Amino acid sequence: MSEFRVKAISKLHAEFSVPGDKSMSHRAAILGGLSNGICTIRNFLPSEDCVNTLNAMQALGARHEVIDELTGYGPINLRIHGQSMKLSAPAAPIDCGNAGTGMRLLAGLLAGQEFSSELFGDASLSSRPMGRVTVPLAEMGAKIETRGEKPGCAPLFIHAATLTPITYHLPVASAQVKSAVLLAGMFAKGKTTVIQPAETRDHTEKMLASFRVSTRRDGNAISIFGNQMPESCDFTVPGDISSAAFWLVAAAALPGSRLLIKDVGLNPTRTAILKVLSRMGAHMTEILHNSEGEPIGNIEIHGAALTGTTILIEEVPNLIDEIPVIAVAAALAKGRTVIRNAKELRVKETDRITTVVDGLRAMGADVLEFEDGMEIEGGKPLHGAEIDSFGDHRIAMAFAIAGLFADGETVIKNTDCVNTSYPGFAHHLAAIRNHRSRPADFTLPTTPIA
Ligand code: S3P
């Protein structure tokens, strides 16, 4: 089992880009596979999570060819052969690994097929709630059994069914659930509507538009009409702002630092992290290269002495994945940071309220735990500690960043999990720690294989 050993850094001057966006890569694999032709996907995230979704689509008949790959991980540039909405029965149960997004989106896709299928995942995924997708899908007529040891959990047995459209009020602000219902709606005759309680990431709607599938937006209601044929297209996945967030926090909290993250997704449903770091005192510039479809651009950040902040209720769904590393920024900032209304963190890859609070306390931070979040009284010096990621990629990476600011050595145990969202993180961490700033030091090794 691998580990990170991290010591404090005194400077950070770097320019690089992070791997492709995880949310968009899942969606590109699925919509590419449903489309009516060949799609070239560039900068796909070659992580275990996304490769599992790609392999799931292959098992459903949508094969892909790799153009370039990240050595030892998976495809970066690839061609997907769309099946014109006609999927075939998989020969075996489909492995979703650690990916909540993969399993929930695939459940929506498979709910209205003429064949049965089974989705399973690792121990963490098998303990996460799936009722949030099976309930609305059952309302549409899906026949899904949750056969996990824990009630309402995977494995999912999805029987052949014919779906009818519904209007569904999401009880939690979840882009995964919204997307599962919209994907199911593609196979139902008529108009399916999802009403979200708060804005969630809109990559599904944006990507459907790229594939010429129309959706309608009316306030917080999103509708789709079934029986539309996705037109094949080429898609370039921007860098993942949730991966960039680790380095943004490291730079923000180190006065005198300068970091340029290039070609990263700047979709406003994902950029609350930038607002929060600005509010905490970091100096930031965003340069948008392209605002059509998925916005993409560069972020330049200069570090400063940070001060605490309160995360607004409406910001929570926008930065839910960044909260572990925001909590690290809070521990390094002067004053109090309040993170509440974030109970969803308890059903992520780990209970991220407990894993963050315990880890920060082990490093000497002053943290209060609540059912729906935490309060951090920042500014106490952090000291090195041994932190277990418990197999959660974002916990491993957040505490690697904390280690860059701690006295002594921080050892993060169980770090293979970072490959679920950020293959190459260890390489970038080593380049930062060794004060290397030449772009070549940050380049991940790719091998053209076709
Ligand atoms: C995601 C939505 C979020 C996020 C997850 C990816 C997506 O989950 O935490 O990492 O791609 O739709 P919820 O839908 O559960 O909020």
Say how many Å lie between the CA of residue 317 and the centre of ligand 1.
Answer: 9
The predicted pLDDT at position 448 comes to: 44
Please give the Cα distance from 23 to 49 (Å, whole number): 10
Closest residue by CA, ligand 1 atom 4: 321
Token pair recorded at residue 427: 């390489």
The predicted pLDDT at position 443 comes to: 79
Pair (68, 79) in one structural domain: yes
Pair (198, 259) in one structural domain: no
Closest residue by CA, ligand 1 atom 15: 174
- Answer yes or no: is 42 within a domain: yes
Pair (407, 421) in one structural domain: yes
Closest residue by CA, ligand 1 atom 10: 321
Residue of 21, 22, 23 to mutate, ligand 1, most atoms within 8 A of C-beta: 23
Pair (209, 269) in one structural domain: no
Give all strands (DSSP E) within 148-199, no chain letters. 156-159, 167-169, 191-195
Pair (177, 206) in one structural domain: yes
The reply to whether the predicted model has a pTM over 0.85 is yes
Please give the Cα distance from 342 to 370 (Å, whole number): 10
- Answer yes or no: is 229 within a domain: no
Of 102, 27, 4, nearest in space to 349 by CA: 102
- Answer yes or no: is 234 within a domain: no
- Answer yes or no: is 268 within a domain: yes
- Answer yes or no: is 389 within a domain: yes
- Answer yes or no: is 388 within a domain: yes
CB 277 within 8 A of CB 252: yes
Pair (384, 319) in one structural domain: yes
Say how many Å lie between the CA of residue 408 and the centre of ligand 1.
Answer: 35
Which are the contacts of 434, defined by CB distance < 8 A and separation ≥ 6? Answer: 441
pLDDT tens digits for range 376-400? 999 999 999 999 999 999 999 999 9
Q: Could you tell me the CATH number of the domain that includes residue 151?
A: 3.65.10.10
Of 75, 33, 83, 29, nearest in space to 53 by CA: 29
Active-site amino acid positions: 321
**Closest atom of ligand 1 to CA, residue 320:** 9
Half-sphere exposure of 67 (CA within 13 A, CB side): 11
Say how many Å lie between the CA of residue 222 and the centre of ligand 1.
Answer: 17
CA trace torsion 428, 433, 434, 435 (10° rounding): 90
Half-sphere exposure of 176 (CA within 13 A, CB side): 23
Q: Identify the bridge partners of residue 339 per DSSP, sorted by sequence position.
A: 374
Residue of 98, 125, 201 to mutate, ligand 1, most atoms within 8 A of C-beta: 201
Half-sphere exposure of 337 (CA within 13 A, CB side): 30
- Residue ending a domain, among 198, 224, 250, is 224
Pair (382, 282) in one structural domain: yes
Closest residue by CA, ligand 1 atom 13: 174
Of 332, 447, 299, nearest in space to 398 by CA: 332
Of 52, 42, 47, 39, nearest in space to 22 by CA: 47
The DSSP element (H or E) to which 69 belongs, if any, is: strand 64-70
CB 127 within 8 A of CB 155: no
- Answer yes or no: is 66 within a domain: yes
- Residue ending a domain, among 180, 197, 224, is 224
Mean pLDDT by groups of 10 residues along the chain of 450 residues: 94 95 98 98 96 98 96 94 98 97 98 98 97 98 97 98 98 97 98 98 98 97 98 97 98 97 97 98 93 93 97 98 98 98 98 98 98 98 98 98 98 96 95 76 61
Pair (414, 352) in one structural domain: yes
The predicted pLDDT at position 1 comes to: 77
Tell me how many domains the chain contains: 2
The predicted pLDDT at position 446 comes to: 65
Pair (102, 208) in one structural domain: yes
Pair (71, 102) in one structural domain: yes
Phi and psi based region of residue 101 (left: phi greater than 0; alpha: psi -120 to 50; beta: remaining): alpha
Which are the contacts of 6, defined by CB distance < 8 A and separation ≥ 6? Answer: 384, 400, 403, 404, 406, 409, 410, 411, 412, 429, 433
**Closest atom of ligand 1 to CA, residue 242:** 10
Please give the Cα distance from 450 to 439 (Å, whole number): 26
- Residue ending a domain, among 224, 257, 279, is 224
**Closest atom of ligand 1 to CA, residue 204:** 12
Amino acid (1-letter code) at residue 270: R
Pair (141, 156) in one structural domain: yes
Of 105, 95, 127, nearest in space to 28 by CA: 105
The predicted pLDDT at position 208 comes to: 98
Pair (13, 47) in one structural domain: no
Residue of 21, 101, 203, 420 to mutate, ligand 1, most atoms within 8 A of C-beta: 101
Pocket of ligand 1 (CB under 6 A): 23, 101, 174-176, 179, 201, 320-321
- Answer yes or no: is 102 within a domain: yes
Domain ranges, residue 382 = 3-19+240-448
Please give the Cα distance from 376 to 307 (Å, whole number): 11
